[in-house]
Amino acid sequence: MGLSNHASTNSTHTGGKDNAKNDMTQGLLDAMPRPTLVIEPSGKLGLANKAARKMFGEAIQGRHYITVLRQPVLLDAVEKAMSERESVQARYLTTEAQRDVTLLAHCAPIEPDGGILVVFEDHTALEEAGQIRRDFVANVSHELKTPLTALIGFVETLQGAARDDPDSRQRFLGIMHKEAGRMNRLVGDLLSLSRVEANERVRPTTMIDLSAIARAAVSSLAPLAGENDVSVTSDGLESPCMIPADPDQLAQVVTNLMENAIKYSGKGTSVSVSLRREDDHPMTRGPAAILTVADTGEGIDALHIPRLTERFYRVDSHRSRELGGTGLGLAIVKHIVNRHRGRLKIESKPGQGSRFSVILPAAP
Ligand code: ADP
């Protein structure tokens, strides 16, 4: 057939032309980034481009497609495309550099030759994105369901058994207030997250004073620190530190980091908020503002650190919920820092406290 490298011709004077045509076809296929191969009407593999040879091996030409493609779903698709002369798609699973890869194989009839062209398209990222979305919806539903179930239960109790008991009523209303607050915080954090994600590609240009924002956060969290018996110190917040940023988002970064430090450190500990400027920082390749929130709390085990910024990831779910956490605070911080082209650095040792540093590009 015309698309085969092994194509031979009886006519000597057209042989040169055919070879040139085959080289051209091979060259064209090799230039295509997606693994592509041709199955001849006999079932043998004809042309295969570079990407396909990388995937299935160099010596596949001339072998029967069943021994190369192997996976039943794909074999069925090729067979159907072959017999019914119509395009058929099938999933093909493989591993590449120890990573699971999902490919979509498009099998299309080649007319008038009678062969099949198989083109593989990498669907891994798409499938992973789908999985992340499904997990996220499942997590949100679960997080909302718990306080909602509690609220419904207490409403029913107040309508029935506790209707005429003022003490129980008071106590149940207190719990209902707490649960409703939890849902409110969760919805608030979800909205923040979606707002930050929506404009993550838009880099802020307005110049703001990070010192002033950090000072405001320190004073607004003084009551929470007092309630938790945590002392807060600050360093370097006196002189202005100008950076291109969204002021509300930066306030949220400082607040989330400070709230965590105060919440998770426990009574009698201390939290420090410090800000310094470096004229030439390797991360920003220029001036940078470095804001650090450090605590003397229990610290975090190294195995959790890389996952802390994932949505709903908590070291101790029960404790986080008890303390009013939504599991979204650090995910929001990470997205805001990304939008500002900065970096979040987490250092911690169990028993020795934690340091969360945000490195942001600063004004020259
Ligand atoms: P949460 O709403 O649960 O606080 P975050 O995303 O803000 O969610 O934090 C994720 C988890 O990281 C927390 O549940 C907690 O286990 C851990 N964590 C965050 N900050 C600290 C800290 N300063 N000290 C100890 N653990 C922390």
What is the pLDDT of the chain when averaged over all its residues? 92
Q: Assess whether pLDDT exceeds 80 at residue 52.
A: yes
Ligand 1 pocket member 308 (CB < 6 A): yes
Q: Assess whether pLDDT exceeds 50 at residue 75.
A: yes
CB 236 within 8 A of CB 273: no
Read off the pLDDT of each residue in 83-110 and give the average, rounded to a whole number.
94
Residue nearest atom 7 in ligand 1 by C-alpha distance: 329
Rounded-to-integer distance, Cα 238 and Cα 205, Å? 23
Q: Assess whether pLDDT exceeds 90 at residue 99.
A: no
Per-residue confidence (pLDDT) for residue 7, from 0 to 100: 39
Half-sphere exposure of 9 (CA within 13 A, CB side): 16
Per-residue confidence (pLDDT) for residue 104, from 0 to 100: 97
Most confident of the following: 110-114, 317-321, 337-341? 337-341
Q: Assess whether pLDDT exceeds 60 at residue 8.
A: no
Rounded-to-integer distance, Cα 358 and Cα 285, Å? 15
In which band, very low, low, confident or very high, does the pLDDT at 15 lie, cut at 50, 70 and 90? low
Ligand 1 pocket member 86 (CB < 6 A): no
Rounded-to-integer distance, Cα 96 and Cα 272, Å? 46
In which band, very low, low, confident or very high, does the pLDDT at 21 lie, cut at 50, 70 and 90? confident
What is the SS3 assignment for 285-339?
CEEEEEEEEEECCCCCCCCCHHHCCCCCCCCCHHHHHHCCCCCCHHHHHHHHHHH
Rounded-to-integer distance, Cα 300 and Cα 225, Å? 20
Rounded-to-integer distance, Cα 247 and Cα 210, Å? 8
Report the predicted TM-score, pTM, of the whole model to 2 decimal places. Answer: 0.79
260 Cα: distance to centroid of ligand 1 (angstroms): 6
Read off the pLDDT of each residue in 1-12 and give the average, rounded to a whole number.
42
In which band, very low, low, confident or very high, does the pLDDT at 3 lie, cut at 50, 70 and 90? very low
Q: Assess whether pLDDT exceeds 60 at residue 107.
A: yes
pLDDT digits (tens, 9 = 90+) for 250-262: 999 999 999 999 9
Ligand 1 pocket member 193 (CB < 6 A): no
In which band, very low, low, confident or very high, does the pLDDT at 101 lie, cut at 50, 70 and 90? very high
* Beta-carbon contacts of residue 303 (< 8 Å; ≥ 6 apart): none
Largest CA distance in the chain: 106
Ligand 1 pocket member 316 (CB < 6 A): yes
Q: Assess whether pLDDT exceeds 80 at residue 363.
A: yes
